[in-house]
Amino acid sequence: MISEQIAALHSQLPAGVTLVAVSKYHPVAALLQAYEAGQRVFGESHVQELVAKQALMPADVQWHFIGHLQTNKVKYIAPFVSLIHAVDSLRLLREIDKQAGRCGRRIDCLLELHLAQEETKYGFTPDELTALLDSDEWATLPHVRIRGLMTMATYTDDTEQIRREFRTAHDLYQHARDHVAAASHWDMLSMGMSHDYPVAIEEGATLVRIGTSIFGQRQY
Ligand SMILES: *Cc1c(COP(=O)(O)O)cnc(C)c1O
């Protein structure tokens, strides 16, 4: 039951950890069940699907975009999105800034860190992240606010490997905080999915992105 899963997660998560209910590929009826159980933060990873659901769901939902975002699609979500988790290039950040400006908004963003040992995943390597933060251009963009980092661990049963990756993300998050604090807010670390969120919380996550454990298997 969706409502029971939401209630269980809300009672289980420590204070300071936000549950992002990842509702991609699930119908609006399922999202409404979660909403009625008190869930307000939803994560989607496809622009068209997000736009369609946003029009049907109550206005006080906070929509997080958690997938790979194409530059030419930013304009469709800029009017309402509350957090973009996976910014993976300066070019994308500039486009978010431009579209947010057109809407008279400032959009919160996280930088995606690539740590997993999988070629297909997007994101900055630790060196690229440091170079980006050193370059200071990000701090001059008036309509975006970088709040922290997002990462995905390698998909594996090896809990120690997952823990090492989350720990590395947390170390980088802490180091960057000193660098960024003067210019921005830096208070969000998004990591942990259905199979690895307990480890992510132990390693300092402030947002967990949970889909399958709430809604069941996705309908493709
Ligand atoms: C789909 C997705 C999730 C949720 O994964 P589950 O295993 O269903 O909990 C979390 N983060 C991202 C980036 C996703 O694309």
pLDDT along the chain (220 residues), means of 10: 96 97 97 98 98 98 98 98 97 98 98 85 90 86 95 95 97 87 80 98 98 88
Work out the burial of residue 146: count CB atoms within 10 Å of its CB; fewer than 13 is exposed, 13-18 middle, 19 or more buried: buried
3-class DSSP assignment, residue 105: coil
pLDDT of residue 94: 97
Residues lining ligand 1, judged by CB closer than 6 Å? 22, 24, 45, 66-67, 152, 193-195, 209-213
C-alpha 211 to ligand 1 mean position (Å): 6
From ligand 1's centre to the CA of 140, what distance in Å? 31
Please give the Cα distance from 34 to 116 (Å, whole number): 30
Nearest atom within ligand 1 for CA of residue 212: 8
Query: Given this model, what pLDDT does residue 118 score?
Result: 75
The residue whose CA is least distant from atom 7 of ligand 1 is: 194
Give the residue from 168, 166, 214 showing the smallest Cα distance to 190: 166
Q: What is the pLDDT of residue 178?
A: 79
Quick check: pTM over 0.85? yes
Give, as one character, the DSSP assignment of residue 184. S
Report strand pairing: 107-113 vs 207-210: unpaired
Of all atoms in ligand 1, which is nearest to the CA of residue 20?
10
| Nearest ligand 1 atom, CA 85 | 13
